[in-house]
Structure 1
Amino acid sequence: MPLIEPTLQFAFEARVDIAEPLWVGRASEEEVMFTPITGGTVSGPRLTGVVLPYGGDWSTTRGKGKETELDARYLLRADDGGTIDIHNRGWYRAGPDVEKRLRAGEDVSEAEYYYRTFPVFRTDAPAHAWLNSTVFVGMARAEAIDQVRIRFFALD
């Protein structure tokens, strides 16, 4: 029996507004930061709504390679009023030259750095129950100094 190849289908994107990161602390070879989530929008063929101004991203940067583990928790509100909890984990890494360009506000192609997530959604809204039992991959990028754009793809 032949094996199938996985495919991804674009579901929606979130433009997540963020505030200035807060320093949490430092342990041996790691730095912990908290980035508050202040709002945003959700749009796409499978979901539209807003990002609620609750939650944030606890990021941990480790080692000399400066890989950052992302651990964001926040809420979405669909246009029909349904509330959706998202736990969005992932990884970010970029070279020093790309970091410098991003901090200067330059529009840098997402092909030049790795910013990927694997979200899990929870909701009791019947119209959005499909989110609870679907595997997603997120492709993130900095849109501005105070916004992250994440495109969510459902794994078929």
Structure 2
Amino acid sequence: MKFRFSIVAEVAPSVSLDETAAGELGFIPITGGTVAGDLEGSVIGSGGDWCLIKSAGTYRVEARYGIRTTEGAYVDVVNTGILTRPGEGAHTPGRGGEYFMTTPVFRTTHPALAWLTHSVFVGHAVAGDGATSIDVFEVIVPGHPA
């Protein structure tokens, strides 16, 4: 895997939307943020993260938001993943702390950013007070140019 960029998505407090047998669904508004690395720009403050609490300490996340690059291009982001917090009751084998991995998918029509639409990416995220940080890695096939 090759590190490509980091996203820091600023967030507002969660809003409870629904509670069913499948779990409790919450919405976390994304209010802005920054992108730095091979992709540079700002997180547009009009998206959100729909978070399904499956059990104590286990969350399924689905975030949708946009990035405006420093050159003015628009990148649409759909980022799904799983967060487990052992301190809340979930157990993640082999890890002493939080496990938060995602699979972001990027869409854009900007020719210089076509590389975002031709590869699989993996994100390692950390949720904090007021922001979620995601280090984005491109999955590279051995023997192919990076």
TM-score normalised by length of structure 2: 0.87
Q: Which residue of 1 aligns with 2:144?
A: none
Partner of 1:147: 131
Q: Unpaired runs of 5+ in structure 1?
A: 1-7, 100-109
* Residue 30 of structure 1 pairs with residue 28 of structure 2: no
Match of 1:118 in 2: 103
Q: Structure 1 residue 52 and structure 2 residue 44: aligned?
A: yes
User: How far 1:54 sits from its partner (Å)?
Assistant: 1.1
The Cα of 1:74 is off from its aligned counterpart by 0.3
Offset of 1:96 from its aligned partner? 2.7
1:20 alignment partner in structure 2: 13
Q: Which residue number in structure 2 is paired with residue 82 of structure 1?
A: 73
5+ long unaligned stretches in structure 2:
141-146
- CA deviations 1:34-77 (Å, max 9, x no partner) are 00000000001x111000001100011113x5421111000001
Residue identity opposite 1:70 in structure 2? V
Q: Does 1:137 align with 2:125?
A: no
CA shift for structure 1 position 125: 0.8
CA contact (8 A) 2:7 2:36 kept: yes
Q: How big is the shift at 1:113?
A: 1.0
Deviation >6 Å, runs of 4+: none
Could you tell me how far 1:128 is from its partner in structure 2?
0.7
Percent identity over the alignment is 35
How many residues are aligned here?
A: 136
Pairwise CA RMSD: 1.8
CA distance in 1, matches of 2:5, 2:34: 10
Query: Per the alignment, do residues 123 and 111 of structure 1 end up closer, same or farther by CA in structure 2, a change over 3 Å counting?
Result: farther
- What CA deviation, in whole Å up to 9, does each residue of 1:73-117 have, x standing for no partner? 000011110000000000001123699xxxxxxxxxx96111000
Q: Distance in 2 between matches of 1:51 and 1:129?
A: 19
Instruction: Check whether the contact 1:98–1:112 (CA below 8 A) recurs between aligned residues.
Output: no
SS at match of 1:112: coil
| 3-state SS, counterpart of residue 72 of structure 2 | coil
Residue aligned with 1:53, SS: coil
1:96 is aligned to: 87
Would you tell me which structure has more helix in proportion to its own residues? Answer: 1
TM, length-normalised to structure 1: 0.82
Secondary structure at 2:78 match in 1: strand
Contact 2:57–2:88 (Cα < 8 Å) also in 1: no
